[in-house]
Structure 1
Amino acid sequence: MNLPHALLGVVLTGATLLPGTPATPLTRFYDQPVEWAACGDPLLDHVGARCAQITVPLDYSQPRGKTIKIAISRIKATDPGKRRGVMLSNPGGPGGAGLNFMGYISQRMTREVTSRYDLIGMDPRGVGRSAPVDCGWPIGHMLWSAGPTRATFRRAVQAQADLAQRCARREGDRIAHITTRNTARDMDVIRAALGEAKISYFGMSYGTYLGAVYTQMFPQRSDRFVLDSAIDPARYMAGSIRNSGPANEAALDDWAAWTAERDPEYHLGTTARQVRARVESLIKTPIRIGEHLVDERFLPMLIFTLLPDARENARLAARVRLLADAAAGKPVRPSADLEQELQFTLYGKPQGYASQAAVICGDAAVPRDPARYWRDIQRSRATQPVFGPYANNITACAFWPTPREPATKVGNDVPALIVQATGDTRTVYQEGVNLRRAMPAARLVTLRDVRMHGVFGRLPNTCVETAVNTYFASGTLPADDLTCRADPS
């Protein structure tokens, strides 16, 4: 029997851990045994983690139908006497594999935290070892620039429609169930299968949206949540991408000023204006880089990928210098990191990022008229010459089936700690502010005057790490919102 969508969250909160809980079609998932084994991942094996597979329904409205398996890892709490419970996690994306994520994040956690929690990594449904989506895409992902002309935009429209059609042919109806709400339901099955009444959680970037959705669907199962580099649920996901246009232009200006001060090394201009002009000239025509021809769709993305972290300024300057040499006809070879990026972006090797599209397009509907996107692109060019055609571009979602469920509206009193850098280029600072408003029991930790996306575990910062570790260890949130600044070093 199909369950109405409005009832799904109610049904799923009834875990069999509580005495007298009536059996439901989901009971067999909540009560399933968990069998741990070696992970076969170098990092996880090094830290002594074990892995398991959790069976969940493909379609939660048909719990007796098809099932899939979700891969999880566990780094056990180091002090059983202090153990509080489990901490689930997500590294972002959407579409990011997270099985070994806690192997990295735990390195910035204090002993008080690691002694209290089993740290749980997870490949979300459709990703990695969890029934991965594979649409056979000839390129890596659907997020790219529309290019400089109406003709390049038309090619983008055709290419995006082709990506959506490939997923429909290859994945069929299955892809409609690769959504955030279903991943949140999977998390709750994992909670129950591990024998826990509640979960704590660390999520980064898209992982903040997943965490916020979980708190909305399962507020009574939510313990201590840290949401780092947050998405505004009301703007997810197309709105967040549009927000990133101005933020990346500002970051480009910041980087250009840094590069201009080092003109004897990079020879890209002695002023920020000259450096920016050089970048703008490079993205207008295809450039051959080694064996690759990179067109207007992807040239801006080669800059975009390094802007979120100011520590990458030198690497970005070297990359732009290489692009300038290539545009001048000089024989150049990509650096190892650029070669890897080109292989993924241009050819989808080793595998395309269709899982990202599945989640974004399956979570929320977007406008379908290409003319609307073109108007937005044209309006953006005056102030966003590099990234406006990316941030406002059409995606495969315009050609995707209508989502099975409405987008989740987040508004609850679950306590949480939100971490946001003012210079974030991916999920802009205002998004963290807006999530804080949607979750009034939360506290916002602002990292001021820092260009960084994803703070905890990536950028050493005493103030942020103290706030996060204190909250996980003791449950103590700051009395009010907190402002941090970069460490002196």
Structure 2
Amino acid sequence: MAVLGLSVPLATAHAATEDPNGPDVEWSACPDDVLAEAAPVDLECATVSVPVDYADPDGDHLDLLISRVASNNPEQRRGTLMLNPGGPGGSGLSLPALLVNQGIPSSVLDTYDLIGMDTRGVGHSTPVSCGFTLEGDYYSNIPPFAPDDAAVLRQADIARQAAEDCEANDKNGHLPHMSTANIARDLDSIRAALGEEKTSFLGYSYGSALGAAYASMFPEQSDRIVLDSIVGDTFLDHDGMRRFGHGMEEVFPHFADWAAARHDSYGLGSTPEEVRETYFSLAESLDETPVAGFDGSLMRHMSFGMLYKPTQYAKLAQQWQAFAAGDAETVQLLQDDDTVPTEPVSIIDNPLSVFAAVTCNDVKWSTDVDDYRQAVAEDREAYPLFGAAGANINPCAFWPFEQTEPPVAVDDDGPQNVLLVQNKLDPATPHLGGEMLREKFENRSRMVSVDDAGHGVYVLSGNSCALNTTTRYLVDGEMPEDDVLCAAD
């Protein structure tokens, strides 16, 4: 990878943040919106100041808001467990409370202070904005499904405009400094501000890339690292987005089996093959006659998202029934914030802006539209369910900011302290991503594979084997001797 204007030597960039004064945070009440989302858990929050540009530590700073559920047992407390929910662009301030409400074991709550945060540029942490609006053409960090070559060219115009919007709205110059490497440096700044010699980490989805970067950049400061639902490296690039098509092809038969077994109730097909045909026929029909704003592309996008959790299969089947009947009223009734956004513009603008900035800054993307046209044509054939979405062109092809350093390289020369946790069937981060990172962390990691479907494993899925194995590692430091395969419960 060509280095575009590397601004600081890597040895300096990866040095641990020192704080000779020890803890340097003041905990107080969290913002009302965070407390409402965390209820009934009572979080406390604090602010940590970090450099905008770590190559210029005395220059401009930005404020990061962090949250905490403190250890229940100070005598048993080991340290901090930093959390990240994914994205990039996802707010993590309420994640400690979410895990408590989901039933994270009390032994983990005794062992750690759970530390959530909005990473740089997100939400309450000096947010960035590209000025995206609900009325605009750029509405998702995954490009729309491209049914033909002309659709790629149309999306290229939208992606180009989105990149220009980001440049025009970067009033404080923060967008060029949005990167996984800098977010990892922020984690170490938080560690130092909390007065900890080391920190543990639990990251989901993109959080796996962030955790892999932190463990690689700061091996001596990383304690127990758990990476769940794995991107495959320290960044999300075009190949990573193309794996969305691969992941959906792997997980869709799980849903098709479920729907076929309930054919008398939902009428989507009496065999998995018929359910698959229903998917394609619905997409084609909606392209010709949209229902409640859903065309075939949006229906594919919604189906992809609802395959994240088997608990959403019934709602997905309801949506398909409503589509098939042309029942716009029912489609509207079934919509929620995960399908069609209805929140204020900032809820859309900020996550999309962060996602674009981090993914575009982390690696150099092709600027040749023909590369994306070819990728879409290939994946439309190889992964017909969703491949022509992840392969489609996005703002990174036109990103106006120069890359300041290469992507973080996975460093296998460190303590054996990385536990990888991955469902065998996952639409967004397929098992292949876990295999890729396991190979990169050959000596430092072990992998727990769960023979089940869904996005997110530890605490979120309830699988007993994965729960017990991960908890033993976090609490007792018991790393499995070999990779583990967990049967579905």
TM-superposed deviation, 1:145? 2.5
Task: Specify which of 320, 341, 344 is matched with residue 344 of structure 1.
Answer: 341
Please tell me whether the aligned partners of residues 235 and 362 of structure 2 are also in contact (alpha carbons under 8 angstroms).
no
SS in 1 for 2:331: coil
Alignment of 1:6 with 2:10, yes or no, is: yes
1:237 paired residue number: 237
Cα distance in structure 1, aligned partners of 2:207 and 2:310: 22
Alignment of 1:365 with 2:361, yes or no, is: no
Task: Specify which of 410, 417, 420 is matched with residue 419 of structure 2.
Answer: 417
**Structure 1 runs, 4 residues or longer, greater than 6 Å off:** none
1:104-161 CA distances to partner (integer Å, 9 max, x unpaired)?
2234332222112111001111111111122121343231224212222221111111
TM-score by length of 1: 0.90
SS in 2 for 1:312: helix
Task: Specify which of 106, 115, 118 is matched with residue 110 of structure 2.
Answer: 115
| Structure-to-structure mapping, 1:13-24, within 5 angstroms | 13-17=16-20
Cα distance in structure 1, aligned partners of 2:71 and 2:338: 36
Deviates more, 1:242-251 or 1:212-221: 242-251
Cα distance in structure 1, aligned partners of 2:288 and 2:482: 50
The amino acid that maps onto 2:8 is P
The amino acid that maps onto 1:6 is L
Higher relative contact order (CA 8 A, sep 6+): 2
SS in 2 for 1:74: strand
1:35 paired residue number: 26
1:379-407 CA distances to partner (integer Å, 9 max, x unpaired)?
22223222121121111111113322111
Please tell me whether the aligned partners of residues 3 and 62 of structure 1 are also in contact (alpha carbons under 8 angstroms).
no
Cα distance in structure 2, aligned partners of 1:35 and 1:347: 31
Cα RMSD of the aligned pairs, angstroms, is 2.3
Please tell me whether the aligned partners of residues 73 and 122 of structure 1 are also in contact (alpha carbons under 8 angstroms).
yes
Task: Specify which of 479, 482, 485 is matched with residue 484 of structure 2.
Answer: 482
TM-superposed deviation, 1:373? 1.0
1:145 paired residue number: 144
TM-superposed deviation, 1:340? 2.8
Cα distance in structure 2, aligned partners of 1:42 and 1:88: 21
Deviates more, 1:214-223 or 1:47-56: 47-56
1:438-481 CA distances to partner (integer Å, 9 max, x unpaired)?
22221111112x11111112111111111111111111111211
Alignment of 1:86 with 2:83, yes or no, is: no
Identity of aligned residues (%): 33
2:166 paired residue number: 167
Task: Specify which of 32, 46, 60 is matched with residue 66 of structure 1.
Answer: 60
1:177 paired residue number: 177
Deviates more, 1:343-352 or 1:414-423: 343-352
1:317-354 CA distances to partner (integer Å, 9 max, x unpaired)?
1111222222xxx4434355524345429995742322
1:271-312 CA distances to partner (integer Å, 9 max, x unpaired)?
33332222213324164333xx23454331011101122232
| Structure-to-structure mapping, 1:168-317, within 5 angstroms | 168-172=167-171, 173-233=173-233, 236-284=236-284, 285=287, 287-290=289-292, 293-317=293-317
1:390-430 CA distances to partner (integer Å, 9 max, x unpaired)?
12111111111332211111022331111111112211112
The amino acid that maps onto 1:85 is G
Please tell me whether the aligned partners of residues 142 and 160 of structure 1 are also in contact (alpha carbons under 8 angstroms).
no
1:25 paired residue number: none
The amino acid that maps onto 1:164 is A
1:26 paired residue number: none
TM-superposed deviation, 1:84? 1.1
Please tell me whether the aligned partners of residues 140 and 345 of structure 1 are also in contact (alpha carbons under 8 angstroms).
no
SS in 1 for 2:253: helix
Please tell me whether the aligned partners of residues 85 and 95 of structure 2 are also in contact (alpha carbons under 8 angstroms).
yes
1:104 paired residue number: 98
Task: Specify which of 321, 331, 335 is matched with residue 334 of structure 1.
Answer: 331
Count matched residues: 467
- What 5-or-longer segments of structure 1 have no aligned partner? 18-29
TM-superposed deviation, 1:369? 0.8
- What 5-or-longer segments of structure 2 have no aligned partner? 1-5
2:446 paired residue number: 443
Please tell me whether the aligned partners of residues 19 and 193 of structure 2 are also in contact (alpha carbons under 8 angstroms).
no
The amino acid that maps onto 2:408 is T
2:3 paired residue number: none
Q: 1:297 to 1:396 in 2, by over 3 A?
A: farther
Q: 1:282 to 1:154 in 2, by over 3 A?
A: farther
Cα distance in structure 2, aligned partners of 1:200 and 1:300: 37
